[in-house]
Structure 1
Amino acid sequence: MEYRVSTAQTEMDFELIHGFISNSYWAQGMPPELLRKALSNSLCFGVFDRDNQQLAFARMITDKATFAYLADVFVLESHRGLGLSKMMMAAIMEHPDLQGLRRIMLATRDAHGLYAQFGFKAVDTPETLMQIRLESPYL
């Protein structure tokens, strides 16, 4: 089967993306209007089949100069194991707006092996990182 990666916001299947992300462990219950705002302010990547059905998604939150944060990465369960995550990650890492950045970060519970293939590694000095984290932001 043929697959392609697109960054065109107009091609992204918002209902599919919201359905997945709002049921994910990292953003459960996210309201649609909040996700729309997040997507419109991000560099989004989608993987599509030859029928233009979206099968995977990721977004980079970035200033396109020094920093990016990879977020909301998923491949539909029915299409896992086909190399789509690697295809999408290759497109992300090769994107012209993401070249020469000083730092690209992400957080993952279970996909360390995938990201290691693209140069990601554990933070050397996690004690230097801080965060503000709302426990129940969508209530």
Structure 2
Amino acid sequence: MMTNDSSFEVSTDQTRLDIPMIYRFLSEQSTWAVGISRPVVERAIENSLCFGGYLDGRQIAFARVITDFSTFANLVDVFVVPEARGCGYGKQLIGVVMRHPSLQQLRRFTLATSDCHGLYERFGFTPPLRPQTLMERYFPNIYLS
């Protein structure tokens, strides 16, 4: 699936992904995966629906969806490289994710964010309706061990 808005393009073609750039960003610049190993990043990409955002052919954005394509999806690892932020590429990227045919009519679509609530609210995300039903096992520094 692709979009082309002023030379910004989104693709789910995994062969186009700039794995070294994604790995560098996640392991060095993200707030959620610092220290993650390249083999873990590669395995995560291999087993997910991934969206690369490209500007003039160069990858500048990424999003990954973990899903069964029937009932549930979890949006993770969303980023736009710092030098391309503030231009609307994140909105375009999430728009393509949310319109993807394989992600329609899911019972639950989740994500976790510490600072982009406004972006995701535009696409219908809200705080959990019943937070008392949600549980998690969370190890924020697992990649630094």
Instruction: Judge same fold: TM > 0.5, yes or no.
Output: yes
Match of 2:52 among 46, 53, 56: 46
8 Å CA contact retained: 2:32, 2:140: no
Aligned pairs, how many? 138
Aligned equivalent of 2:91: 86
Q: For the Cα contact (< 8 Å) 2:22–2:62, is it kept in 1?
A: yes
Quote the residue 1:28 is aligned against.
Answer: 34
- In structure 1, distance between residues paired with 2:59 and 2:14: 12
Structure 1 residue 15, shift from structure 2 partner: 0.7
TM-score (norm 1): 0.96
- Structure 1 residues 112 and 135: CA distance shift in structure 2, 3 A: closer
Distance in 2, matches of 1:40 and 1:27, equals 17
SS of 1:122's partner is coil
Per-residue Cα deviation, 1:17-63 (whole angstroms, up to 9, x for no partner):
0111112111110000011000000000011012x100100000000
CA distance in structure 2 between the aligned counterparts of 1:38 and 1:4, rounded to whole angstroms: 22
Aligned pairs for 1:1-139 (under 5 A) are 1-23=6-28, 24-50=30-56, 52-138=57-143, 139=145
Task: Specify the SS of the correspondent of 1:35.
Answer: helix
Deviation at 1:136, TM superposition (A): 3.1
Aligned-residue RMSD, C-alpha: 0.9
State the Cα deviation string for residues 52-77 of structure 1 (Å, max 9, x = none): 10010000000000000000000011
CA distance in 1, matches of 2:141, 2:124: 32
Contact 2:74-2:110 within 8 A present in 1 as well: yes
SS at match of 2:132: helix
Identical-residue share of aligned pairs (%): 46
Task: Identify unmatched segments of 5+ residues in structure 2.
Answer: 1-5
Distance between the aligned counterparts of 2:43 and 2:142, measured in 1? 15
State the secondary structure of the residue aligned to 2:63. strand
TM-score of the two chains, using structure 2 as the length reference: 0.92
